[in-house]
Amino acid sequence: MIFSSTFFLFLFLPVTLILYYVVPKRAKNLVLLLFSLVFYAWGEPVYVLLMIYSILFNYTMGCLIDSEPAHKKLVLVFSVIMNLLILGFFKYYGFLMENINAVTGLDLPIRKLALPIGISFYTFQALSYVIDLYRGRFKVQKNVIAFAAYITMFPQLIAGPIVRYEDVAAQMEDRKLSPARFGKGALRFIFGLGKKVLLANLIGSLFDTIHASGADVSTVTAWIGALAYTFQIFFDFSGYSDMAIGLGEMLGFTFMENFNYPYCAKNVTDFWRRWHISLSTWFREYVYIPLGGNRVKVGRHILNLMIVWMLTGLWHGASWNFILWGLYYGILLIWEKYVWSKLKVPAAVTRIFTVVLIIIGWVIFSADNVSQIGITLAAMFGHAKLGFIDGTARYYLSTNWKLLLLELIFSMPMVRALYKECTKHAVTRVLILVFALVLLYVCTAYLVTQNYNPFLYFRF
Amino acid sequence: MKWTHRIIGLLFAAFVLLLTLVFVILPDKTYSSSEKRNLQTLPELNASTLADGSFMSALEDYTADQFPLRDDWMRVKTAISRALGTRESQGVYIMKDGSLAERFDTPDAANMQETIDAMAAFAERYPNLRMNFLLVPTAIGIYPENLPVGAPTDSEDDYIDTFYGTLSKGMTCIDVRDVFAQKKDALQLYYRTDHHWTTDAAYEAYKIVSKTMQFEHETTFTSGIICNDFRGSLVSESGFSVKLPDAITAYIPNMTDRPDEALYTVTYAEDSRKTASCFETEYLLSDDQYQVFFGSNHPLIQIDTAVATDRKLLVIKDSYANSFVPFLTPEFAKITIVDPRYYYEDIDALVISGGYTDVLFLYNAATLSEDTSLKTVLQNVQ
């Protein structure tokens, strides 16, 4: 199930929230768990069993770490390996076999499994629990329902943010609900919905059109396409995070912020402090620092960075373009740390350069295969099949410039500053209220008509 | 901000619950006339639909399809999309003159060659039949200058040139493009809201066909508007609203000079129903009034006329022919209309037993470019 559907907003959410608010405090985790399982089983009826297995496994490992302090390292290693094996099997097995076949020329049978939705997210959450429990950061969770509710929590189940157990340990026991908090969450949810349904989906259809043209583009069209994807992925992902944070708030949780206007980053390092913060935090906490981080010799530091960034790329999907994308950022970060920062380049230049590098990154990320990356980049940098600009590019510009401008405005922190200012005065608060309602109304129009799908000859 | 949050929370809950309530209370609809399709009704719940997830996806479609005020939400959405600058939806463009027209996509070359080969083989099997092909351009082919500037579309003109260029010698190609280009300002050749040609355009084509196929009579026609609130398929396909609906015109042959030849019967093969008219007027009250011509598409229709002639015609066609065939009744003793998209019988048996003298293939460029049924029928693979 996805948040941006009429079914979620007008059936699942009201039923869940009403029950959640009606039941007494001690039953809230159970309600949350049951509805989260329904939410997950909705698209993955079979894989819900895998998830239940993962919950019971990690719960048991947690109890073992707690009760067997002498063997806790062994338990930790075992549970990390098991979690990674499950993730690896369901997510990377087919990809691995394909590449083994390609390299060795063998023809080993491949059974490509459908990817269990959210497995990368909930496996990482489970890992954060066992690892931090081993480190003694919090007390073991003995209540299996509370633990299961943490792993399955539907707001962040399928697209993050990756909530570390440490951050919500107290909230799993006790959460405060209030009308004001509900409204705060609703407001955040509406903003997220608007980002996803309006900004991401509309510019996404422009990207799809250009993407489908393949090499038959001019340089300007190729840039419009890359820019469209740059906006689409940001508003899609951060909109989803906003909805998750808003829903969490409605349920009494406080989740960490996941995005902080990443396209206004000072440099690439800064970009990764602002983009999918919960993921980069996770990798820093559980991979980069355990590897030694930057408190090692230069050679080792470079190796550490490359390992972390290759894994980050791979985490996004079992495909070479994701690995390339990860390595691309690894190289950029090393370059920035050891070369660029010593060149004394004016800040404005670095900023512009950073945006271009980010856009190139998304070209790598969005490609269907490795050869397409080359075609698109060549088109963007002067080797386009249809010249620098053609009629089609002008058409895309003339029919999308308003949308592109809106996307640009909403990617900039001045929107947040304006919002903050508006919260300070009674009159402008009414404006926020009206804006939120209009936004909800418009989003509903887009949700309802999402499957507007006329079929003209069905009766003949 | 606390109070503002409380009010927002209240309004959010009220908005969601109100719509949920209306959704639950309103009775389900089975058909949407604006989208011209069946709507999803409450799906059946059992172990297998639950296990494979089909129950869940059907239930999601159900909430979307049965959502209150669906058509009004659609209007809100298209109004916003228009305001943001959108000129295209589902492959349908809003042209500069406010009409709607479908984009043309260059067809698969292999499929085109197979269709042409099947036609050549068919023409070879029946050398005594006079074969004609009328490939009608669509609105985008005749009015490309009305497209939004730079809008991506492939050239229909090139496609028609290639198709006619590769068609075998035994086939007479009838090209209406020059005449349509001359008349395109004086006449409305295409509906503003539908992908079909107007009857006026069909009449212009008739005049050319009448010369090429050497019709014996010079028939005159009386025309009149039979419907003036036609909102065609392109409106439902794109969701764009069009302020002006279209008018549908009908042409009736003037047979006063040979009144004993005026009557004919139309037989619909699938249910053996007989009528005495090409016009199924009850469809003027339906949501797709173009169906007034023969009640839309049928696998096989036979027209038996009282015209004193040896000529018998086989028409192999798409829906553009529906408004065209009424012009032909004064010229043939028999007209058989086959729509390959719905026809699964033996075409050779039909041709051999039918005693035809003429064959007319009539397609519009958009349908033919995507069609795979014509070659299947002509190859007569049972």
Q: Which of B68, B91, B124 is the last residue of a domain?
A: B68
**DSSP letter string, A214-252:** TT---HHHHHHHHHHHHHHHHHHHHHHHHHHHHHHHHHT
For chain A, the structural domain boundaries read: 6-175, 181-448
Residue B382: pLDDT band (50, 70, 90) is low
Interatomic CA distance for residues A221 and B369, integer angstroms: 27
What distance in Å separates residue A397's CA from the closest CA in chain B? 10
Would you say the C-alpha torsion B342, B346, B348, B351 has a positive or negative sign?
negative
Tell me: pLDDT of B306 over 60.
yes
Residue closest to A227 by CA, chosen among A369, A358, A416: A358
B189 part of a folded domain = yes
Inter-chain touch A454–B342, beta carbons under 8 Å: no
B112 lies in the same domain as B212: yes
Q: Give the chain A residue nearest B342 (alpha carbons).
A: A460
- At residue A114, does pLDDT exceed 50? yes
B68, B87, B114 — which closes off a domain? B68
Distance of CA A191 to the CA centre of its chain: 17
How far does the CA of residue B46 sit from the closest CA of chain A (Å)? 13
Provide the H-helix boundaries in chain B. Answer: 2-25, 47-51, 54-65, 70-84, 109-125, 139-142, 156-166, 177-183, 199-212, 233-238, 347-354, 365-370, 373-379
CA-CA-CA-CA torsion sign (B167, B172, B178, B183): negative
Do B174 and B312 belong together in one domain? Answer: yes
Mean pLDDT of chain B: 90
Using a CB-CB cut-off of 8 Å, the residues of chain A touching B83 are 402
Contact A187 B65 (CB under 8 A): no
- pLDDT, one tens digit per residue, over B97-119 is 989 999 998 888 899 999 999 99
Q: Is residue B32 part of a domain?
A: yes
Q: What is the average per-residue pLDDT within B196-225?
A: 94
Phi, psi for residue B358 in degrees, rounded to 5: -135, 150
How many residues make up chain A in this entry?
A: 460
Determine the distance in angstroms separating the CA of B368 from the nearest CA of chain A, rounded to an integer: 16
The pLDDT tens digits for A307-350 are 999 999 989 888 888 999 999 999 999 999 888 888 888 889 99
Mean pLDDT of B40-46: 82
Q: Is the pLDDT of residue B186 over 90?
A: yes
Whether residue A401 and residue B85 make contact (CB cut-off 8 A), yes or no, is yes
Query: Is A448 or B183 the better-scoring residue by pLDDT?
Result: B183
What is the C-alpha separation between A93 and A84, in angstroms, rounded? 12
For residue A46, what pLDDT is reported?
84
CA distance linking residue A258 with residue A271, whole number of Å: 12
In a domain, B303, yes or no: yes
CA distance A279 to B77: 35
Domain shared by B278 and B367, yes or no: yes
Residue B30: which domain range?
2-68
The verdict on residue B95 lying in a domain is: no
Chain A neighbors of B16, CB-CB under 8 A: 9-10, 13-14
Shared-domain flag, residues B43 and B123 = no
Among A187, A430, A448, select the one facing B73 at the smallest CB separation. Answer: A448
Neighbour count for residue A414 (Cβ, 10 Å): 11
Q: What is the pLDDT of residues B51-100, one digit of tens each?
A: 777 888 888 888 888 888 887 888 888 888 888 888 888 888 999 998 99
Provide the terminal-to-terminal Cα distance of chain A, rounded to the nearest Å: 34
**Domain for residue B60, yes or no?**
yes
CB–CB contact A403 B84 (8 Å):
yes
Helix runs in B176-320, H state only: 177-183, 199-212, 233-238
Could you say which of A10, A202, A213 has the minimum Cβ distance to residue B63?
A10
Active-site annotation holds for A383 = no
Distance CA B229, CA B248 (A): 8
Task: Give A-chain residues touching B35 at CB under 8 angstroms.
Answer: 452-455
Q: Is A403 helix (H, G, I), strand (E, B) or coil?
A: helix
Indicate if B36 and B170 belong to the same structural domain: no
Buried b (16+ CB within 10 A) or exposed e, A145-180: bbbbbbbbbbbbbbbbbbbbbbbbbebbeebeeeeb
Asked if the C-beta of B25 comes within 8 angstroms of chain A's C-beta atoms, the answer is no
**Nearest-Cα residue of chain B relative to residue A425:** B1
Chain B CB contacts of A453 under 8 Å are 35, 37
pLDDT in tens, A265-297: 999 999 999 999 999 999 999 999 988 888 889
Question: What type of residue sits at position A75?
Answer: V
Q: What percent of chain B has pLDDT over 90?
A: 58
Q: B176 with B284, same domain?
A: yes
How close B182 comes to chain A (CA, Å)? 27
| Shared-domain flag, residues B196 and B279 | yes
Instruction: Determine, for residues B342 and A213 on separate chains, whether the beta-carbon distance falls below 8 Å.
Output: no
Asked if A42 lies within 8 A of B9 by C-beta distance, the reply is: no
| Minimum-distance CB partner of B296 among A189, A399, A460 | A460
Asked if residue B185 is part of any domain, the answer here is yes
CA distances from B230 to A241, B143, B298 (A): 46, 21, 22
Model pLDDT for residues A416-452, shown as the tens digit of each residue: 999 999 989 989 999 999 999 999 999 999 888 875 4
Question: C-alpha A113: how far from its chain's center?
Answer: 22
Q: Is residue B87 part of a domain?
A: no
- What SS3 class is residue A45? coil
Residue B302 structure tokens? 């036979």
> What is the separation of C-alpha A19 from the centre of its chain, rounded to a whole number of angstroms?
28
CB spacing of A444 vs B73 below 8 angstroms: yes
Backbone angles phi, psi at A149, to 5 degrees: -65, -35
| pLDDT tier at B381, thresholds 50, 70, 90 | low
How many folded domains does chain B comprise? 2
Are B57 and B203 within one domain? no
- Does the pTM exceed 0.95? no
Q: What is the pLDDT of residue A456?
A: 36
Query: Is the CB of B237 less than 8 angstroms away from the CB of A454?
Result: yes
Digit-coded pLDDT (tens) for A372-420: 899 999 999 988 888 888 888 999 998 899 999 999 999 999 999 999 9
User: Is residue B279 in a domain?
Assistant: yes
Residue A457 has pLDDT above 80, yes or no: no
Question: Mean pLDDT across the stretch B145-174?
Answer: 89
Percentage with pLDDT > 90 across chain A: 59
The predicted complex's ipTM stands at 0.87
Tracing tokens 């508003």 back to the chain, one arrives at: A235
CB contact under 8 A, A460 and B297: yes
- Residue of A71, A276, A316, A383 marked active site: A316
pLDDT digits (tens, 9 = 90+) for A340-367: 888 888 889 999 999 999 999 999 999 8
Of A166, A157, A165, A160, nearest to A51 by C-alpha is A157
B60, B112: one domain:
no
| Cα of A338 to nearest chain B Cα, Å | 45
